[in-house]
Chain A
Amino acid sequence: MNLQVIGCSHHQSSVSVREKLAFTEDQVRAFLNKYHQAFPKSEAVLLSTCNRTEFYAAGKSADGVPSSQQMIEFLANHRGLKTGEISNNLFAHQDRAAIAHLFSVAASLDSMVVGEAQILSQVKQAYQIAVDTGQQIPLTHQVFQTAMKVAKRVANETDIHTTRVSVPSVAVNVLTKQIFERLEDKRILILGAGKMAEETLTYIVALNGKDIVVTNRTRSRAEGLAEKFNGQIADWNDLDNQLIDADLIVSTTGATQPVVTHEQFKLVAQKRQQKTLLILDLAIPRDFDSKIGDYESVYLYTLDDLQKECEENRKSRQSQWPKAQKIVEQETANFFQDVHRRNSGSTIALLKKQANEVKNSELERLLGRLDRLTPEQESEIEQSFHRLVNKLLHPPLKSINADQSSEAGGLLDAMKRLFQLGD
């Protein structure tokens, strides 16, 4: 199996870069369709969340899978960017490193807030979109199913998830408490009605936030969310008035352009009379123009700004880190052994089949030339041929089996080439 991953995450890329590479669900589908046209022999999955965009490609043979450079170029072209604009901000992993990376991501060890639950569902969703494109993805199926198994194992065997803290939780529980003494009397405005908004609202309600207003371009989704949290619904066209009244804004829309521009906010700011406003812009691309944070009474926080707080969180869970990391390493090794065993099994079967075909044809030819053989003699010759083949195959098969633990698979490849075995 050949697996490549390229991508960017909060570890090495700023929001501005991640914004350029962020995909909506429909955009992921379009991207994968285009990819399958360009590289029909390989499989692909695109994972796009607020903190990362990761592009996985897999294939049985190396020649069917694009190189990491080709993947970067493909990604850049698709987004209308120059390769140089993004290449320095992207990471690239191959095979074992790529697998280990995916396992870490799914187990939330690579998240901004280590141990957050949201990432696993995002990984599942990315895989599901790849399946929905209608392409056969047996290799990535195997990898992603194992990734989900690893995530569950880490959750069950470590305490890394015991106090589940996601980005919304850190935003609400740490930041909000530094600005507001209580939320009961605060107007809370939610822009967007997705999962992030829902999770954030859960924490706000836990802090006694009551005066909740939800607004979304698609009113029906806002209605569902508002109903769930006893909030009100505001018309999207009434956004400016809602901004005037709000004390805390949580923005999680999937808009590709800022929802609130600086010009727009100027008028809002005049009417707010310098009332303190906390804006949690949890959207990628950002929903609020960064200049809005320059107003004296406005505290504008983006996902990147929350990273420091998340680092604190990461430290507190440091004790569980080695245990979780060990599970990832074990599972990565197991995965490769498994793949290797499966590959060697099929190679051995092919080798035996090929040897038996040679043996049978030679046996047939010999028996045809020898007349008047008794059945006992024929049986003796057959057994002799059988033993010969087995004895010839025994050392290489033993070596292949011994090679399974090394995960390298070099011997298997050599065997395939030596005996000209197909896939």
Chain B
Amino acid sequence: MEWLQKISITCFAASYLVVFGIELSRVFFQLDLRRYVRIGVTAAGLFAHTVFLAYHTQLSFDSQGIWLGSWFGWCLSGAWVLAAVYLWLSLRKPQSMIGMFLLPVMLLLIWFGHGFSDTAPFSPGRAKSVWNMIHGSSLLLATVVVALGFVFGIMYLIQSRRLKQKRSGSFRLPSLEWLNIWAERTLFASTVLLFGGFASGIALKMVQQSSSNPNGSIPWSDPVIWTSAVLFLWLLAATIVNAFYKPARRGRKIAYVVTISFLFLLLELIIVWQVGHATDQQTRSSLSAVSKFPAFFHRSKDNDHGGVL
């Protein structure tokens, strides 16, 4: 299966870039055939992306690790979910230019993941624990869902503004009602997923402590933990208000909430990355040394929080 090795990030990233170009061209001219090309190229990119993830996951299993449990795998997996969602939306809503907003987020995740392609994965022992699996996958899905909510929120604000200004615009977006419903769903889903990630993180910490230091407590001062808690509380509050106070889920408010949630999440991810959360000491030092990002992206080597969440 030598051909599997030949599939690189460039293969699917290039496909997604081409799809993004096709999406942009919809602003300028009409062409019926373009829809099929767009869906075909997306499907091809997604296939390459799937093969790439499957191959590297298999390789990491062979070497007693979980490749998905690294920044690289985590970002590419998130991008894969977004690509699958995009393909589904392209079939469901072929007239709407959702890709113009979704594809940049996806490509950014791939680029971000590529920056960590040479870093080591999380330590095998931790990565393979059940709590860690739940913790990692919940947070991964929560991130994807919040990113989707952000995309829907931005589209809602643009669509609402266009309709208010009586401008039809050169591209079509889904209806306000559809965007509102999906922004609401992503808010609810991200709250549940973040709760899953947060609770499993605490459980994981307690399991670890019971074996090493039975008298230890959860380090709430850890920036990763408290920022995660704040993000979760923000989402929980927004979901509760949204569920019980009608005006909150109408109009642009829900769009603002999901957009702020995404910015909050970005802040959270930066903190997680900066403090080297969930990576071993030696892994962390090697991570900053080999990261492909420009120097200003490199995190501080002094940080050594070693939290769980």
Enumerate chain B residues within 8 angstroms of A297, measured Cβ to Cβ: 250-251
| Interchain nearest-CB distance for A184 vs B (Å) | 12
Enumerate chain A residues within 8 angstroms of B173, measured Cβ to Cβ: 178
Residue A421 is within 8 A (CB to CB) of chain B in the complex = no
Chain B residue, CB-CB nearest to A176: B175
Stretch at the interface among A69-77, A91-99, A271-279: A271-279
| Interchain nearest-CB distance for B130 vs A (Å) | 40
Do A178 and B166 have beta carbons less than 8 Å apart?
Answer: no
Do B252 and A178 have beta carbons less than 8 Å apart?
Answer: no
Enumerate chain B residues within 8 angstroms of A276, measured Cβ to Cβ: 176-177, 180, 250-251
Over the window 295-317 of chain A, the binary record of Cβ atoms lying under 8 Å from chain B Cβ atoms (1 yes, 0 no) is 01101010001001100100000
Chain B residue, CB-CB nearest to A185: B177
A residues 282-297 near B (Cβ < 8 Å) are 293, 296-297
Over the window 172-213 of chain A, the binary record of Cβ atoms lying under 8 Å from chain B Cβ atoms (1 yes, 0 no) is 001101111110000000000000000000000000000000
Do A181 and B175 have beta carbons less than 8 Å apart?
Answer: yes
Enumerate chain A residues within 8 angstroms of B247, measured Cβ to Cβ: 273-274
Residue of A296, A299, A309 touching B252 (CB-CB under 8 A): A296
Cα–Cα, bound, A348→B250 (Å): 78
Residue of B159, B166, B181, B246 touching A308 (CB-CB under 8 A): B166
Enumerate chain A residues within 8 angstroms of B163, measured Cβ to Cβ: 175, 178-179, 299
Given A308-B168, A309-B168, A178 and B175 contact (CB-CB distance below 8 Å): yes
Given A274-B247, A275-B250, A179 and B177 contact (CB-CB distance below 8 Å): yes
Residue B6 is within 8 A (CB to CB) of chain A in the complex = no
How many residue pairs bridge A and B at CB < 8 Å? 49
Cα–Cα, bound, A181→B131 (Å): 40
Cα–Cα, bound, A309→B167 (Å): 9
B residues 249-281 near A (Cβ < 8 Å) are 250-252
Cα–Cα, bound, A404→B188 (Å): 80
Given A178-B163, A178-B175, A181-B175, A296 and B251 contact (CB-CB distance below 8 Å): yes
Chain B residue, CB-CB nearest to A175: B163
Residue B47 is within 8 A (CB to CB) of chain A in the complex = no
Do B250 and A180 have beta carbons less than 8 Å apart?
Answer: no
Residue of A174, A180, A308 touching B177 (CB-CB under 8 A): A180
Cα–Cα, bound, A174→B95 (Å): 13
| Interchain nearest-CB distance for B12 vs A (Å) | 32
Residue of B178, B246, B250, B252 touching A181 (CB-CB under 8 A): B178
Over the window 165-209 of chain B, the binary record of Cβ atoms lying under 8 Å from chain A Cβ atoms (1 yes, 0 no) is 011100001111110110000000000000000000000000000
Enumerate chain B residues within 8 angstroms of A179, measured Cβ to Cβ: 163, 175-177
| Interchain nearest-CB distance for B74 vs A (Å) | 34
Chain B residue, CB-CB nearest to A311: B168
Enumerate chain B residues within 8 angstroms of A174, measured Cβ to Cβ: 168
Question: Total interface residues on B, using CB and 8 Å?
Answer: 19
Do A308 and B250 have beta carbons less than 8 Å apart?
Answer: no
Cα–Cα, bound, A61→B176 (Å): 60
Enumerate chain A residues within 8 angstroms of B174, measured Cβ to Cβ: 181
| Interchain nearest-CB distance for B273 vs A (Å) | 38
Cα–Cα, bound, A273→B249 (Å): 10
Enumerate chain B residues within 8 angstroms of A293, measured Cβ to Cβ: 164
Chain B residue, CB-CB nearest to A182: B177
Enumerate chain A residues within 8 angstroms of B164, measured Cβ to Cβ: 293, 299
Cα–Cα, bound, A301→B164 (Å): 9
Do B251 and A180 have beta carbons less than 8 Å apart?
Answer: no
Cα–Cα, bound, A301→B167 (Å): 11
Over the window 142-164 of chain B, the binary record of Cβ atoms lying under 8 Å from chain A Cβ atoms (1 yes, 0 no) is 00000000000000000100011
| Interchain nearest-CB distance for A290 vs B (Å) | 12
Cα–Cα, bound, A285→B6 (Å): 69
Do A180 and B166 have beta carbons less than 8 Å apart?
Answer: no
Cα–Cα, bound, A386→B163 (Å): 80
Cα–Cα, bound, A293→B160 (Å): 13
| Interchain nearest-CB distance for B30 vs A (Å) | 10
Do A301 and B166 have beta carbons less than 8 Å apart?
Answer: yes
Do B167 and A308 have beta carbons less than 8 Å apart?
Answer: yes
Cα–Cα, bound, A312→B170 (Å): 11
Cα–Cα, bound, A182→B175 (Å): 9
| Interchain nearest-CB distance for B149 vs A (Å) | 18
Cα–Cα, bound, A385→B251 (Å): 94
Over the window 227-254 of chain B, the binary record of Cβ atoms lying under 8 Å from chain A Cβ atoms (1 yes, 0 no) is 0000000000000000000110011100
Cα–Cα, bound, A178→B181 (Å): 14
Cα–Cα, bound, A101→B181 (Å): 49
Enumerate chain B residues within 8 angstroms of A181, measured Cβ to Cβ: 174-175, 177-178, 181
Do A274 and B177 have beta carbons less than 8 Å apart?
Answer: no
Cα–Cα, bound, A296→B180 (Å): 14
| Interchain nearest-CB distance for B175 vs A (Å) | 5
Residue of B176, B246, B250, B251 touching A178 (CB-CB under 8 A): B176
Enumerate chain B residues within 8 angstroms of A274, measured Cβ to Cβ: 246-247, 250-251
Do B251 and A177 have beta carbons less than 8 Å apart?
Answer: no
| Interchain nearest-CB distance for A187 vs B (Å) | 14
Do A273 and B250 have beta carbons less than 8 Å apart?
Answer: yes
Cα–Cα, bound, A182→B159 (Å): 17
Enumerate chain A residues within 8 angstroms of B178, measured Cβ to Cβ: 181
Enumerate chain A residues within 8 angstroms of B168, measured Cβ to Cβ: 174, 308-309, 312
Cα–Cα, bound, A177→B95 (Å): 12
| Interchain nearest-CB distance for B181 vs A (Å) | 7
Cα–Cα, bound, A296→B254 (Å): 13
Enumerate chain B residues within 8 angstroms of A296, measured Cβ to Cβ: 251-252
Cα–Cα, bound, A305→B167 (Å): 9
Enumerate chain B residues within 8 angstroms of A275, measured Cβ to Cβ: 246, 250
| Interchain nearest-CB distance for B161 vs A (Å) | 11
Enumerate chain B residues within 8 angstroms of A177, measured Cβ to Cβ: 175
Enumerate chain A residues within 8 angstroms of B251, measured Cβ to Cβ: 274, 276, 296-297
Cα–Cα, bound, A180→B176 (Å): 6
The listed residue with most B CB atoms (<10 A of its CB), out of A178, A182, A297, is A178
Enumerate chain B residues within 8 angstroms of A305, measured Cβ to Cβ: 166
Enumerate chain B residues within 8 angstroms of A312, measured Cβ to Cβ: 168
Other A-B contacts than A174-B168, A179-B176, 13 sampled, CB-CB below 8 A, are A175-B163, A178-B163, A178-B175, A182-B177, A274-B246, A274-B247, A274-B250, A274-B251, A275-B246, A276-B176, A296-B251, A309-B168, A312-B168
B residues near A (Cβ < 8 Å) are 159, 163-164, 166-168, 173-178, 180-181, 246-247, 250-252
Can you list 12 pairs linking A and B with CB atoms under 8 Å apart?
A: A178-B173, A178-B176, A181-B181, A274-B246, A274-B247, A274-B250, A274-B251, A276-B176, A293-B164, A296-B251, A296-B252, A312-B168
The 9 tightest CB contacts between A and B, nearest first, are A274-B250, A181-B177, A274-B247, A305-B166, A297-B251, A181-B178, A181-B175, A273-B246, A273-B247
